[in-house]
Amino acid sequence: MKEQLDNTGKVIAKINTRQGKFTIYFDSGEKIELNEISYLSCGYLYSGKQIDISQLEKIIYLAKLQEGINYINNLLARNLYTSHELINKLQNTKKYDLTDAEKIVEIFIDNGRVNDKSYATELIEDLKEKGKSREYAYQKMMSKMFNYELIKTLLEDYEENDEAVYTLIENCSKRYNSKPYDVKKKAIYNYLISKGFNHEKAHQYVDKYYELNGGKDEENETKILYKAANNAYNSALSRGKNPYDSKQKFIRYLLSKGFKYNDILELLEGGEYEFD
């Protein structure tokens, strides 16, 4: 009875080898692919051999692990991942349990293809070069599922790259060239806040940027105001409203664009825009 139970399983029809991979075909029509290490760990296999249940379970288990190894290989060929990201993907996408997922990822840690500390260090340097804030770096590293203690250690002495931040500000500033000084300055401030800078640092960077670039350009401000005023004036008069309503429309338009009320009144007192 014992002999009959041990021999209950499948019969190997053939074994193919290609580029370090072994494909075992069974007489049932099923097949299993293994790498060299997994194949050799199965003992001596040959065509016609009947596999007992314990051997068959071992082969199936190794094939399952091999599928996960192939999956991780494909991921790492396209991008870098943390060990926790890979474990999470194996669990959620391939439905491995935690023990097997950790076992698979451990293979890549041992051969050096997954190195969380090295990856984290490179990522932080890249974020600094891009002018990212410490808070942004923290959130980015948390999203990549780095170990918290590693994040804490690497960010302990994190300092923003001032030149990179000023480049960010410069690029943002170009999008608001047609806006008044105060509007542009506020937009840049909000932009830095959205990038993870706290209020104090955002103010410091914006103020320092304008200090380095000569502050408010009064001549340019006047050009911006007149350009907006011309558009507002033509629009107000084209509607055929009474002079009072046209004037109010003119004022409201300029206020909505961020121009100061006193500057608008001064413009009207200059006599270039009449509504009588």
Output the six-digit token pair for 102: 């950790």
Output the six-digit token pair for 232: 């507002």
Indicate the pTM of the whole model: 0.65
Q: How many CA atoms lie within 13 A of 21 on its CB side?
A: 11
Per-residue model confidence (pLDDT) at position 200 = 93
pLDDT tens digits along 169-192: 999 999 988 889 999 999 999 999
- What share of the chain has pLDDT > 90, as a percent? 48
> 2 or 24: which carries more pLDDT confidence?
24
pLDDT tens digits along 264-274: 888 888 888 88
Q: Which residue pairs from 183-187 have beta carbons closer than 8 angstroms and sit at least 24 positions apart in sequence?
A: 183/257, 183/258, 185/210
Beta strands in the chain (DSSP E): 10-18, 21-26, 31-35, 50-51
CATH of 7-110, one of 1.10.760.10, 2.60.40.1180, 1.10.10.10, 3.40.50.1820: 1.10.10.10
pLDDT tens digits along 81-128: 999 999 999 999 999 999 999 999 999 999 999 999 999 999 999 999
Q: Report the interhelical angle of 83-92 vs 98-110 (nearest 10°).
A: 140
pLDDT tens digits along 21-46: 889 999 888 888 888 877 887 788 88
CATH of 162-206, one of 1.10.10, 3.30.230, 3.30.1890, 1.20.1260: 1.10.10
Q: Which residues pair with 232 in a beta bridge?
A: none
Quick check: 24 and 43 in contact, CB under 8 A? no
State the average pLDDT over residues 147-156: 92
Residue 147's Cα: distance from chain center in Å?
A: 18
- What share of the chain has pLDDT > 70, as a percent? 96
